[in-house]
Amino acid sequence: MKTFAELNFPGRLIAVEGLDGSGKSTQIYLLKRWLEAEGIKVYFSEWNSSELVKSATSKGKKRELLTPTTFSLIHATDFADRYERHLLPLLRAGYVVLCDRYIFTAFARDVTRGCPPDWVRGIYNFAALPDIVFFFKADLEVSLNRILEGRPKLKFFEAGMDLRLSADPYESFRIFQGRILEQYLAMAGEFKFMVMDANQHVEKQQALVRKVVGERINLARFRRRRPLPLPPPLPPDNKAKETEEDLAA
């Protein structure tokens, strides 16, 4: 498997990986905002977001109907759709593409759920490798606490409850995510992950992320020739009032 740079694509792809609650989504969001502020042509994509299968996945999760194989195939379909219709066109157009999770999520989760490793990798063998992969390694307790800060309880599949690891969702989460972590660490050397200490402060992590990106990608090549257009000016107060009156009528 080769990276997009090795395949001579004009664009570059940066992926983030990590356990649920590792803070990876925050980091890639901050990276996106920074690149935009620098005038870089940037595109963002996240796991399980294809309109082709998003509703089916949601229904399957709510009814707890997804088997490990079904889970794997649905996510592979989601990825293939986004890869062909979004990622490749933007990479060919010379964009820096940011992915919140890439094929490594499937390699870790699906194998942990019991799918054969060779089979899982085989269904993603059409995908090129990212040019940079950041893996955010957080302690399990830190990840769990971050998740629970935003909502009262864990989700069924997020906690690995489908695997019957424990009747207690919190203990199931620790076991399930611990096994996923083992899969990630086993891949770190093979795929040259940039392992980040996700227990550190957000600002410290982001400073290192930007430093690595700046050193490994010539960002000047990806700057827009023209800045993004400014939003249209607001109408004067009297016109705004007239508009409000028209809408009310």
For the stretch 12-67, pLDDT in tens is 999 999 998 899 999 999 999 999 999 999 999 999 877 777 666 666 666 666 78
At residue 8, φ and ψ (nearest 5 deg) are 65, 30
pLDDT at residue 152 in the model: 73
> Band of the pLDDT at 223, cuts 50, 70, 90?
very high
The alpha-helical segments, DSSP class H, found in the chain are 24-37, 54-62, 68-82, 88-92, 103-112, 117-122, 140-150, 169-188, 202-216, 237-248
> Binning pLDDT at 50, 70 and 90, where does residue 93 land?
very high
The tokens for 125 are 């063998």
In contact, 39 and 215? CB cutoff 8 Å: no
What fold characterizes domain 12-248? Rossmann fold (3.40.50)
CB hemisphere CA count around 28 (13 angstroms): 28
Name the strands in the sheet holding 42-46, side by side, starting at the edge strand that comes first in the sequence: 42-46, 96-100, 12-18, 132-137, 194-197
CA–CA gap between residue 214 and residue 196 (Å, rounded): 16
Strands 42-46 and 132-137: unpaired
| Model pTM score | 0.85
The fraction of the chain above a pLDDT of 90, given in percent, is: 65
Which of 91, 70, 69, 88 has its CA nearest to residue 80?
88
**Mean pLDDT, range 111-133, rounded to an integer:** 97
Quickly state the pLDDT bin for 7 (edges 50, 70, 90).
Answer: very high
Give the range among 119-123, 152-156, 199-203 with minimum mean pLDDT: 152-156
Average pLDDT, integer, range 124-128? 97
